[in-house]
Amino acid sequence: MSVVSEPVSDELLRRFDVSGPRYTSYPTADRFVEAFTADDYAQALMQRRNGASAMALPLSLYVHIPFCESLCYYCACNKIITKHHERGAEYLRYLVREVDLHTAVIGQGQVVSQVHLGGGSPTFLCDDELRELMGMLRRNFVFAPGGEYSIEIDPRTVDPSRLDTLAELGFNRLSFGVQDFDPAVQKAVHRVQPAEQVFALVEAARTRGFDSINVDLIYGLPKQSPESFDRTLAQIVQLRPDRIALYAYAHLPERFKPQRRINTLEIPSGAAKISMLSRSLAALLAAGYVYVGMDHFALPGDSLAIAKRQGRLHRNFQGYSTQPDCDLIALGVSSIGRIGATYSQNAKTLEEYYDLLDQGGFPVVRGLALSRDDLVRRSVIMALMCQGQLQFESIELSHLVDFSSYFAKEMVALQSLAEQGLVVVDDGGIQVTPQGWFFVRAVAMVFDRHLQTDRTRAQFSKII
């Protein structure tokens, strides 16, 4: 595993200021097809049920809660803006139906080692609704001791008493959406939340013994500057969360309607964004954070940093994980799951999601059954993305291919990255260098057959 000890140069950041997939899966979700149906998903679940080895592995659960009380202009998530909290109760009734469909196939009592509530704002649900949701999940699944049980939090919807409820329900990891502490930036993106409020909540969470606290930041938002973001970074270093996710804002108003409310004249220039990133990397590394990879930082004692050092990182649709590679059951509108060699996605609108469940079937509307080539390339890409290294022999033994001939074109393309000092290639395998770890997406993209075919990258975020 590569160890990053120094920040990357501005020159390299500019050179790799290009778009590319985040590789929470391979193939990526833009390759899903409607030809993959709810029946195909049910078949994948039955194959898991009938496969003794698969059934012995723990599951991961993702639950999408789409509701938010107010609109954040930068948001690209699937969400529903409403102040009608009674909609949460209706949504829970349909989540129960979806879980019942799963247990009818794979049975109750499957062991789960990871649960993540995302959105939207999961804390849109009241305490009793969160109790109902977690109680329903625990009645149908067995939560493994030592698992990761996390929830995304809008600080504007939580107080210390709600943190008590989350601890009571078994959540051990919290993720706070901060984005930026600057009041002018917060006003420009319609998400005003004083820094003092976040500091108080994080302190309250620590006193309640949560294992890990994450904070999300975004650079490139309107009215940001390198100097203003320096101030936010200084506050974050003072706050000292266990993990930090640092994302680049991608302005795609043609795809995400809320972004049309952003004044494009207030968006920082490309040069300013590069400066923000460079200064962020320097500040966080100087503060003692480990660069885990793909926008993620963690304190050395956090389980994510430990997993990186020990070569145990994994990757799923929620990003990096310490949990072993496993099937992921995704519940709720628009959620994406993985069962065996398949990916699937639920209906993206609440109306269609409800309608499909009313008809008695899974609300899956698209997905993908992976080909042999997809499986080989997934192994290669995930080894690079998670371990930062690849042994040719392991791929050859697992997939019965000759690496040098199977990936002949890719190995030629990789030479350019080797010449730039991002990877070292020898007879035994590929090693991502400490500098190359910042650009690991660029290394993985070399092995992406679908990306090679059409080179359509505009829909992806920047790789740095």
Does the pLDDT at position 156 exceed 70?
yes
Tokens 């939090």: give the residue.
153
CATH topology classification for 27-329: pyruvate-formate lyase- activating enzyme (3.80.30)
Is 1-26+371-464 in CATH node 3.30.70.20?
A: no
Does the pLDDT at position 409 exceed 50?
yes
The closest alpha carbon to 221, from 212, 231, 213, 229, belongs to 229
pLDDT digits (tens, 9 = 90+) for 435-455: 888 888 899 999 999 887 765
**DSSP-assigned beta bridge partners for residue 315:** 320
Residue 287 φ/ψ, nearest 5 degrees: -80, 0
How many helices (H) and strands (E) the chain has is answered by 18, 19
Using CA atoms, how far apart are residues 54 and 338, in angstroms rounded to an integer?
A: 13
C-beta of residue 137 within 8 angstroms of C-beta of residue 144: no
Q: In sequence order, what are the residues at sequence separation of 6 or more whose Cβ sits closer than 8 angstroms to the Cβ of residue 105?
A: 42, 45, 46, 49
Identity of the residue numbered 284: L
Predicted TM-score (pTM) of this structure: 0.91
Q: Where are the domains of the chain?
A: 1-26+371-464, 27-329
Q: In sequence order, what are the residues at sequence separation of 6 or more whose Cβ sits closer than 8 angstroms to the Cβ of residue 352?
A: 363, 365
Does the pLDDT at position 238 exceed 90?
yes
Q: What is the pLDDT of residue 457?
A: 47
How does residue 1 score in pLDDT terms, banded at 50, 70 and 90?
very low
Which of left, alpha, beta for 426 (phi over 0: left; psi -120 to 50: alpha)?
Answer: beta
Which of left, alpha, beta for 286 (phi over 0: left; psi -120 to 50: alpha)?
Answer: alpha
Q: What is the pLDDT of residue 464?
A: 56
**Same CATH fold, 27-329 and 1-26+371-464?**
no
Q: Are strands 110-119 and 141-153 parallel, antiparallel or unpaired?
A: parallel
Does the pLDDT at position 162 exceed 80?
yes
Return the H-helix or E-strand segment holding 170.
Answer: none
Tokens 């949460």: give the residue.
88
Does the pLDDT at position 54 exceed 70?
no
196: its two tokens: 């003092």
Q: What is the pLDDT of residue 13?
A: 77
Q: What is the pLDDT of residue 5?
A: 47
The closest alpha carbon to 9, from 278, 229, 230, belongs to 278
Using CA atoms, how far apart are residues 364 and 56, in angstroms rounded to an integer?
A: 25
CA 364 to chain centre: 20
Q: What is the mean pLDDT of the chain?
A: 91
pLDDT digits (tens, 9 = 90+) for 93-152: 999 999 999 999 999 999 999 999 999 999 999 999 999 999 999 999 999 998 999 999
Q: In sequence order, what are the residues at sequence separation of 6 or more whose Cβ sits closer than 8 angstroms to the Cβ of residue 66?
A: 78, 79, 80, 91, 119, 120, 332, 333, 334, 350
How does residue 459 score in pLDDT terms, banded at 50, 70 and 90?
low
